[in-house]
Amino acid sequence: MSDDYGWRQVDSPKPASLLDAVMPLINRALGTAAVFLVFGASVPCFAQADPASEPAVLAVAKVLPAVVNINTERVVRRTVRDPFDDFYSQFFGYNRFRPREVRQTLQSLGSGFIIDPAGYIVTNQHVVERAADLKIHVTTNDGKTYRARYITGDDKNDLAFIKIDAETVFPFINLDNISPNLLGQTVMVVGNAAGYGSSISRGVLSAVKRDITVDETDYKGLVQTDAAINPGNSGGPVVDLSGRLVGIASAKMAFTPQGVPTQGLGFAIPADVVRDSVNQFKQAAMKQGKVKGSPAPAAPGAARAEKLFGMQLQDLTSELSDALGYLRGRGVLITAVEPDSPADDAGIKRGMVLYRVNKSAVSSTKDVEEALGAAESGANVDFMVGIIRARGENHGLVTLSLKAR
């Protein structure tokens, strides 16, 4: 029926009781609460992952043991005159005293990184210039300090080759597997920024093949990044999220040629130039007798694991285990997994730890070398992988059978 105002009025059924009247309201409220409960229960799904498994953390852990701080000390001699000598010479025509020679010690800080287990280091030439007059001290990430000697250098590319004077095996950055250097990829600068060792800055690869002039020095074909490069970073590595070399931090442009301040304009010598220069350094040094034989090769076990199964490995030092919260003295860290490799197909992820190869427990890449010594293409190998925390609990510890490619 209609009322006097023309509105159509619909009669609704009357509730049989008060409970029937309020039940729809209760159901509506419970439904809303249920929605909140559902979303509330799903919040942990969006929680942040364990920082120890972040790609940047793993990449830094991989390269940091090979990065060194370089402290150079050079003694210069210069002649000085007493200002009164000039006064007496001007008015009386003779010198009362002979000029005297003073010695001054100049110090500089820079970075570098080990590119070979025998202790060979690449850095910027300007960090160790005039090496004949230099005392070079190298401090590794574990706090140990060594004397180093200059081998050779290249002023054009601003690269130098030095060696630690010590009979030991050092962690190193492999120049055979460098970054593709793609625009926009994440990069990190590692080094001795402003004298603070083991400093990390992060940004993106902004450009390639840049030609610039800084402090009247011409640089050709550099890669550009907005990751912070500060005094002391020179000679240190710029790496990607897999720990592969992008380049060597070399220069920062604080002002344009017109004097306008800039931000985020740092430059590095490309990794391929570094690799080619190091090969030339080695050949020249061997001819001159400065390098006795070829430097020690990379651990074959790590290379075999990568070649046959697509896993890059690194020793789990005590410092690295503590940083990641892993159990000390057990396993080998998996630092990278090649896409579409046997390891990738089996679900192995970087950040996991390899604890056993077949029936052999492993705690170093050397152990992996021995365990994989007889493995060939087509062979089936059992790998026990996962994570054992320092507190002893296991996380995803499984044994996987992989077929060598």
Average pLDDT of adjacent 10-residue blocks, the chain of 405 residues: 43 52 56 45 53 86 91 63 55 54 60 90 87 78 90 90 85 89 96 88 95 79 94 94 94 78 89 93 74 45 78 81 81 85 90 91 89 88 90 80 91
Asked if residues 118 and 294 have their Cβ atoms less than 8 Å apart, the reply is: no
What sign does the CA torsion over 236, 239, 242, 244 have?
negative
pLDDT of res. 28: 59
pLDDT of res. 90: 55
pLDDT of res. 236: 95
Which residue, chain included where needed, has tokens 């600068």? 189
How far apart (Å, rounded) are the C-alpha atoms in residues 244 and 240? 6
> What DSSP element (H or E) covers 106?
strand 100-114
Instruction: Domains for the chain: give ranges and CATH numbers.
Output: 300-403 (2.30.42.10)
In the structure encoding, which two tokens stand for residue 376, read together? 């060939």
Put simply, whether the predicted model's pTM sits higher than 0.85 gets the answer: no
pLDDT of res. 5: 39
Asked if residues 122 and 158 have their Cβ atoms less than 8 Å apart, the reply is: no
Q: Quick one: how far is CA 326 from the chain centroid?
A: 20
How far apart (Å, rounded) are the C-alpha atoms in residues 5 and 166? 103
In the structure encoding, which two tokens stand for residue 318, read together? 């005590």
Asked if residues 238 and 248 have their Cβ atoms less than 8 Å apart, the reply is: yes
Asked if residues 107 and 71 have their Cβ atoms less than 8 Å apart, the reply is: yes
Which residue, among 366, 346, 367, has the nearest Cα to 356 in the 3D structure? Answer: 367
Q: 337: Cβ–Cβ under 8 A, 6 or more apart, which residues?
A: 310, 311, 312, 343, 344, 348, 349, 350
pLDDT of res. 99: 59
SS3 214: strand
pLDDT of res. 94: 52
How far apart (Å, rounded) are the C-alpha atoms in residues 358 and 98? 80
